[in-house]
Amino acid sequence: MQNNNGKRESNARGGNQRGGSMPTGPRGGGMPGGPRGANPGAAQPKVSIAKSLKRLSVYTKKSTGLIILTAIAVLIGTLVTVLTPKVLGNTTTIIFAGVKRAAGIDFTQLRLTLAILLGLYLATFLTSFLQQRFMTVITQDITRRLRRDLKAKLNRLPINYFDQHQNGELMSIATNDVDNIVSGLQRSLTSIISSVITVIGVFVMMLTISPLLTLVVCLTIPVMLLVARLVTPKAQKYNAEYFGSLGQLNTQVEESLQGFTVIKSFNGTEEALNKFEHANKSMVTSGWKAVFISGLTMPMMTLVQNVVYVLLAAIGSLSVVSGSMTLGNMQAILQYSGQFSSPLMQLAQIWGTLLSMLTSIDRIFAVLDADEMDETLGDYPNQLASDAKVSFNHVQFGYDDKLLMPDFNMEVEPGQMTAIVGETGAGKTTVINLLERFYDIKGGALLVDGQDIRNMSRHELRTKMAMVLQETWLFSGTIFDNIKYGNENATDEEVYAAAKAAYADDFIQKLPDGYQTVLNENADNISQGQRQLLTIARAFIADPEILILDEATSNVDSRTELIVQQAMARLLKHRTSFVIAHRLSTIYDADRILVMDHGNIVESGTHQELLAENGAYQQLYQSQFATA
């Protein structure tokens, strides 16, 4: 989602709202279907390797030129590496032949051969340097674009997606999985290209020396294929479990840090440590299994390589003694056997990295493929002749198949203050969620200024609104920037004026750095009441047509509450407003009070009118003030 001013983004939950804190889910109407905490990626259907790599290749298109240069560098470097043993073998042959001849060693030919050998080594160094340089640029660019797309995707996902997935898991995907892909590409891409070219080049060179010994060396190929066939399924399984456990671990750490004071207050340290230990143990178990299974390939390949080397040495020695092969060629074939086996072993080792990378690719694309909010403008009937600012006409809504609101009706006049009260789960916050289009209605019509909100973009709709919620949300940054968040086009004078209107200027001026005071991650370096005043100032600067207050004074002391209420009274003046209240003392002056129960309005009127009815409102009032 993008915020109302279309600039700075907030975190994923409720990032569109202006002037207030973040919503924490449909508290008033129960959570939508699906358990919160599902792992996007841990239980995904198995995706083929080719399909996963094809999807990732989309992010390499802008780096096509560098990839071509990298491939050329790899090709040249590999060919040089393949030629080196042959030239080195020629050096041995020249020296050996010179020792046997009476004329001695041909130093002219030897110097030429050594000069060629030195040139080959220098070329190997240069191509290796270029490969690493190009791959660093390529992988970092992929990282940037993957994270950019993930962030943009999270802002386009509906609220219910975040109700069903843990924040720690999503953070793990955006950080750990992206890093895993990049490190995997960095290690494996050039190695795979180099290994394939090396195997082909070495095979050709060995054929020119001895077809029989070449056949012996090729015994390693079926072994590698068999090992890969056995290892791949289990490695993929444990890699998926590992990254799922990593997301769970991130969630545990995030929750412990956010609730540190509560954990200490309720002596919950041991329980928190036990939860962390469980997640940590699960991650370690799946992690070592993935590494162990993937690592089985190396010792098996090493065993086969040693056996092949012994066979080559025995057969080659007999060939040299019989005169059918020169000593230099035998030396070359032994070196080539190492060069032939080494890429195969490297491929086997890379295979585990590749499987881990593929798991991360699948988890990332599980998020990127998730259904987004429908931004298509509707063609629903409007009622532009209506004088009501907000109208709920026979609205139907439910978070699952069961309707929470079977037939909800309400009209709010311009400038009217409407308070909504009721027991927990009555549907109070659901009304606000529907008004802000955090969720879409399933029937009926919801109109603002006579226009069905489904005919408006969410951006257009939310520019008309601001929210001040019970859970204050302030981002890490200066107080000035937090206030200006409500309107990025506001001038400095307007920011200061908004702070004064919200009664926040006084405490801000007393801070060491004033408006440039930097708030930490949870804004814990100022009090709860001060945080609330800043959110009110943010709403002031947004200058909304519709204001939503959700228990905005419930977390502050009585003295601070008076200041906050004075600030809100200024903010509410001449604005259409919705106030969700648990403390009835805050809504005595409301133009209209709605009492909700199970998604329906059961009573409606002013404070005095509802008390006179001796109904549900009167019972709520008595429950709060009977003992006063």
Amino acid (one-letter) located at 224: M
Cβ proximity of 249 and 176 under 8 Å? no
Q: Is the pLDDT of residue 37 over 60?
A: no
Cβ proximity of 34 and 478 under 8 Å? no
Helix residue ranges per DSSP H, 421-555: 428-435, 458-462, 479-484, 492-501, 505-510, 528-542
Q: Is the pLDDT of residue 29 over 90?
A: no
Q: What is the pTM of this model?
A: 0.62
Q: Please say whether the dihedral angle defined by the alpha carbons of residues 301, 302, 305 and 306, taken in this order, is positive or negative.
A: negative
546's enclosing H/E stretch is strand 546-550
Q: Is 386 exposed, middle or buried (0-12, 13-18, 19+ CB in 10 A)?
A: middle
Confidence band (pLDDT; 50, 70, 90) for 625?
low
**pLDDT, tens only, 384-425:** 777 889 999 999 998 777 888 888 999 999 989 899 988 888
**CATH number of the domain where residue 212 is located:** 1.20.1560.10
Share of the chain above pLDDT 70, in %: 86
Does 379 reside within a domain? no
- Residue with the bigger pLDDT between 544 and 569: it is 544
Q: Is the pLDDT of residue 42 over 70?
A: no
Sheet holding 546-550, edge to edge: 465-469, 546-550, 576-580, 417-422, 592-597, 600-605
Which pLDDT score, from 0 to 100, does residue 24 have?
Answer: 37
Confidence band (pLDDT; 50, 70, 90) for 162?
confident
Does 45 reside within a domain? no
Q: Which of 5-9, 160-164, 589-593 has the highest mean pLDDT?
A: 589-593
Please give the C-alpha separations between residue 151 and each of 10, 18, 61, 619, in angstroms, as whole numbers.
Answer: 10, 19, 20, 47
Which pLDDT score, from 0 to 100, does residue 103 have?
Answer: 65
Which pLDDT score, from 0 to 100, does residue 624 have?
Answer: 72
Q: Is the pLDDT of residue 50 over 80?
A: no
**pLDDT, tens only, 527-562:** 888 888 888 889 888 888 998 888 766 555 566 667
**pLDDT, tens only, 426-435:** 888 889 889 9
**CATH number of the domain where residue 506 is located:** 3.40.50.300
DSSP string, 509-536: HHSTTGGGPEE-TT-TTS-HHHHHHHHH
Which pLDDT score, from 0 to 100, does residue 394 have?
Answer: 92
> Which residues, other chains included, contact 544 with Cβ-Cβ below 8 Å and sequence gap of 6+?
18, 19, 464, 465, 466, 575
Which pLDDT score, from 0 to 100, does residue 514 have?
Answer: 92
Confidence band (pLDDT; 50, 70, 90) for 481?
very high
Distance between CA atoms of residues 277 and 256, nearest Å? 13
Does 500 reside within a domain? yes
Which structural domain range is residue 516 located in? 414-429+464-625
Q: How is residue 381 annotated by DSSP?
A: P
Q: What is the mean pLDDT of residues 153-160?
A: 86
Residue 314 shares a structural domain with residue 422: no
Three-class SS state of 262 = helix
Does 23 reside within a domain? no
Which pLDDT score, from 0 to 100, does residue 33 have?
Answer: 36
Amino acid (one-letter) located at 120: L
Which pLDDT score, from 0 to 100, does residue 446 have?
Answer: 93
DSSP string, 40-95: TTTTPPP--HHHHHHHHHGGGGGGHHHHHHHHHHHHHHHHHHHHHHHHHHHHHHHH
Q: Is the pLDDT of residue 304 over 80?
A: no
- Residue with the bigger pLDDT between 51 and 606: it is 606
Which pLDDT score, from 0 to 100, does residue 508 have?
Answer: 92
Q: What is the mean pLDDT of residues 434-449?
A: 90
Half-sphere exposure of 437 (CA within 13 A, CB side): 26
Cβ proximity of 466 and 547 under 8 Å? yes
- Alpha carbon 38 to its chain centroid, in Å, reads 14
Residue 75 shares a structural domain with residue 140: yes
Please give the C-alpha separations between residue 311 and each of 226, 316, 564, in angstroms, as whole numbers.
Answer: 21, 8, 87
Distance between CA atoms of residues 127 and 261, nearest Å? 56
Which pLDDT score, from 0 to 100, does residue 556 have?
Answer: 57
Residue 315 shares a structural domain with residue 424: no
Half-sphere exposure of 242 (CA within 13 A, CB side): 24
Average pLDDT, the chain: 78
Confidence band (pLDDT; 50, 70, 90) for 40?
very low
Residue 363 shares a structural domain with residue 480: no
Pairing of strands 465-469, 546-550: parallel
Residue 363 shares a structural domain with residue 468: no
Does 13 reside within a domain? no
The β-bridge partners of 547 are 466, 577
Residue 246 shares a structural domain with residue 361: yes
Q: Which region among 376-385, 491-500, 530-539 has the lowest average model confidence (pLDDT)?
A: 376-385
Residue 619 shares a structural domain with residue 499: yes
Pairing of strands 417-422, 576-580: parallel
Does 402 reside within a domain? no
Which pLDDT score, from 0 to 100, does residue 2 have?
Answer: 37
Residue 355 shares a structural domain with residue 498: no
Residue 182 shares a structural domain with residue 295: yes
Which pLDDT score, from 0 to 100, does residue 479 have?
Answer: 92
Q: Last residue of some domain: 368, 389, 404?
A: 368
Which pLDDT score, from 0 to 100, does residue 302 have?
Answer: 75
Q: Is the pLDDT of residue 488 over 50?
A: yes
Residue 349 shares a structural domain with residue 468: no
Confidence band (pLDDT; 50, 70, 90) for 339?
confident
Q: What is the mean pLDDT of residues 174-185?
A: 84
> For the chain, how many structural domains are there in total?
2
Residue 581 shares a structural domain with residue 519: yes
Q: Which region among 242-256, 417-431, 437-451, 479-493 has the lowest average model confidence (pLDDT)?
A: 242-256
Distance between CA atoms of residues 77 and 194, nearest Å? 8
**pLDDT, tens only, 52-88:** 778 888 888 888 888 888 888 888 887 887 778 777 7
Does 33 reside within a domain? no
Which pLDDT score, from 0 to 100, does residue 30 have?
Answer: 39
Does 143 reside within a domain? yes
Residue 362 shares a structural domain with residue 501: no
Q: Is the pLDDT of residue 206 over 90?
A: no
> Which residues, other chains included, contact 457 with Cβ-Cβ below 8 Å and sequence gap of 6+?
375, 377
Q: Which of 249-258, 345-354, 523-532 has the highest mean pLDDT?
A: 523-532
